[in-house]
A = this chain, B = another copy of it.
Amino acid sequence: MMVHPSVHVPSSCVIGENVVIEEGVTLGENVQVGHHSVLLKGTILEEDIMIGCNSVLGCQPFKNSRIQHENNAEGELYVGKGSRIGNGTIIYSGTKLSREVMVGDLASIRENTVVGQATVIGRNAMVECRTLIGERCLIQTSAYITADMVLEDDVFIGPEVSTSNDKYMVRTSTSLKGPHIKEGASIGNNATLLPGIIIGKNAMIGAGAVVTKDVTDGCTVAGVPARKIP
Contact = CB atoms under 8 A, between A and B. Distances in A.
A136 interface: yes
A95 B2 CA distance: 33
Contacts of A64: 84, 102, 120
Contact of A144 (B18, B62, B159, B186): B159
Interface residues of A, number: 65
Contacts of A169: 156, 158, 186, 188, 204
Given A108-B124, A190-B162, A208 B207 contact: no
Contacts of A98: none
Given A84-B64, A162-B160, A126 B108 contact: no
A217 interface: no
A52 B163 CA distance: 26
Interface stretch (A6-14, A23-31, A53-61, A73-81): A53-61
Given A189-B192, A192-B208, 9 more contacts: A36-B36, A53-B56, A62-B102, A87-B90, A142-B162, A144-B159, A159-B164, A192-B207, A208-B224
B186 A163 contact: no
Interface of A: 2, 16-18, 20, 34-36, 38, 50, 52-54, 56, 59, 62, 64, 66-67, 84, 86-88, 90, 102, 105-106, 108, 118, 120, 123-124, 126, 128, 136, 138, 141-142, 144, 146, 156, 158-160, 162-164, 169-171, 186, 188-190, 192, 194, 204, 206-208, 210, 212, 223-225
A124 to B, nearest CB: 5
